[in-house]
Amino acid sequence: MKTKSLPRIVTLALLLFGSTLAASPAYASELSDDLSARRARVMDALGADGMLILWSAPSRTYSLDVSYEYRQDSNLYYLTGITQPDTILVLMPGNASRKEILFVRDRDPFREHWNGRILGTDAAGALSGIRTVLSIAQFDAFATAMLSKAPSGVVDEPESRAFASALTAGRAKVAVLLEARSTSDALGPGADFARRARDRFAGFQVIDATPMLTELRLVKTAYEQKVLIKSLAVSSDAQIAGMRRAKPGVWEYQVEAAIENVFMDRGSMGWSYPSIVGSGPNATILHYTESTRQMQPGDLLLVDAAANYEFMHGDITRTYPISGTFSAPQREIYSLVLDAQEDAIKVAAARGSLLDTHRKAVDVLKAGLLKLGLITDATGEQYRMWFTHGTCHYIGLDVHDVGDRSKPLVPGMAFTIEPGLYIRQSALDALPRTPENLALIAKVQPAVTKYLDIGVRIEDSFLVEVAGLRRLSASVPRTVAEVEAFMAKRP
């Protein structure tokens, strides 16, 4: 019999606070203070006529009576720091004093015997900095009272007069997350609540809280930046451990194990995303996760792996020759990808948007692919045969974090730059056999044969600081000279 342990941050809170609420150390207070400041910004954006309600993510079944390791909804975590299920946050900016109300599980000795200790009302309040923490069993009665302007026993009429007046005037707003959490969620808890509330009550408008929270999450707080820097330090050390392990005859899963051992040894919650460790032709598969191939002399190994450290997610990819040196064709593809990243970095350093940064990388790749004979026209979309994804994405609470990629970069934003090229015969084989495509295939086939099964991606995580652009993964060898020198010194 085996059960999953609680996430580290919940376990930490239980150890710190227990049932008697011992004095919290400085770092726990720093998190609590940051969470309070985040909620204050949300309430400023929401206004006195509004009520925000956020639900925790559901638990998911892996198989029969085994569950997936629990992962909290990012927006709820952003405002509470709570990582356990059965949690609801309510923010009511117009209330006289109880503007923040948290609903959590009741302590249950039987349940805790099987699955570990529950973060009860006292510990949840201490961790989040929210003073009013109630049993989740009280939420339905509370919501009914607020929307019907009746006493709730928690927030009575004098306290919630502003929201009640807004309901009477028909200008109240109930903000929930209306977007489904995944394609499998037909109706998320916010949308389901809104549907039921509309049937029973009047005087309010349901609004989607997603844009408001997205805008706030885009620029990381000083605390978030500190944790993100630590997360990338762990991820960088893990990447280096993988480079040391990679040699001819070693299996991909052995490199993956070396990387993820560092994650866990350094106190991470696990991986930021399933690690990608692809050698030889597997390097051309974008989300290859099997890790079942034994590496052969002369292979390139593409490793895309990073840690989830206290809910901060970075992203690093390195591609390197396991025998120590790049072959001439490998070096040509690698150098082109590196040139694209270097030029894209210059755009980002000048505070261009992520879209601007992507366009620069594409321009460099197009010109290089034309020179290598892998495309015949640098003005169109032929390059998409070999560069099949975007160059940039934000990072943070999610590895592909939320935010508008057309915005100019400002201090506090964090993102990746990750150009890549993947030369595989199937890209040509899949083209419709039109006269134009047949002519294209005839012209580029010699180059495809020369560079066949070479997959290269170079990805770094960046933080925009007032002083300039900071590459958080700078310790991991990246240039041809750095990579070959590192590989030559392996034991």
For residue range 265-297, list pLDDT tens digits in order: 999 999 999 999 999 999 999 999 999 999 999
Over range 300-309, report the average pLDDT: 98
pLDDT of residue 369: 98
pLDDT band at 97 (very low <50, low <70, confident <90, very high): confident
For residue range 439-487, list pLDDT tens digits in order: 999 999 999 999 999 999 999 999 999 999 999 999 999 999 999 999 9
User: Which residue reads 């970095």 in tokens?
Assistant: 345
Give the integer Cα–Cα distance in Å for 132 and 130: 6
For the domain 8-216, what is the CATH superfamily, name and number?
Creatinase/prolidase N-terminal domain (3.40.350.10)
Over range 185-195, report the average pLDDT: 85
Give the start-to-end residue ranges of the domains of the chain: 8-216, 219-488
Q: Residue 312 in 3-state DSSP?
A: strand
Instruction: Please tell me the least confidently modeled range out of 28-32, 67-71, 165-169, 467-471.
Output: 28-32
Over range 120-141, report the average pLDDT: 95
Give the integer Cα–Cα distance in Å for 281 and 81: 42
pLDDT of residue 201: 95
pLDDT of residue 28: 66
pTM confidence score? 0.93
Residue 90 has pLDDT above 90, yes or no: yes
pLDDT of residue 4: 43
φ/ψ of 469, rounded to 5, equals -90, 130
pLDDT of residue 1: 37
Over range 409-414, report the average pLDDT: 98
**Percent of the chain surpassing pLDDT 90:** 88
What CATH number does the domain located at 219-488 have?
3.90.230.10
Q: Which residues pair with 51 in a beta bridge?
A: 174
A 10 A CB-CB count for 454 gives: 25
Distances (CA, A) of 153 to 138, 139, 141, 166, 215: 10, 11, 9, 20, 34
Answer whether 147's CB lies under 8 Å from 163's CB.
Answer: no
Residue 12 has pLDDT above 70, yes or no: no
DSSP character for 145?
H
Residue 10 has pLDDT above 70, yes or no: no
Q: Which residues pair with 50 in a beta bridge?
A: 173
Give the integer Cα–Cα distance in Å for 39 and 209: 13
For residue range 58-67, list pLDDT tens digits in order: 999 999 989 9
Q: What is the mean pLDDT of the chain?
A: 93
Distances (CA, A) of 410 to 36, 218, 458: 23, 10, 24
- DSSP string for residues in 326-342: --HHHHHHHHHHHHHHH
**Higher per-residue confidence, 29 vs 258:** 258
Give the integer Cα–Cα distance in Å for 88 and 56: 6
pLDDT band at 3 (very low <50, low <70, confident <90, very high): very low
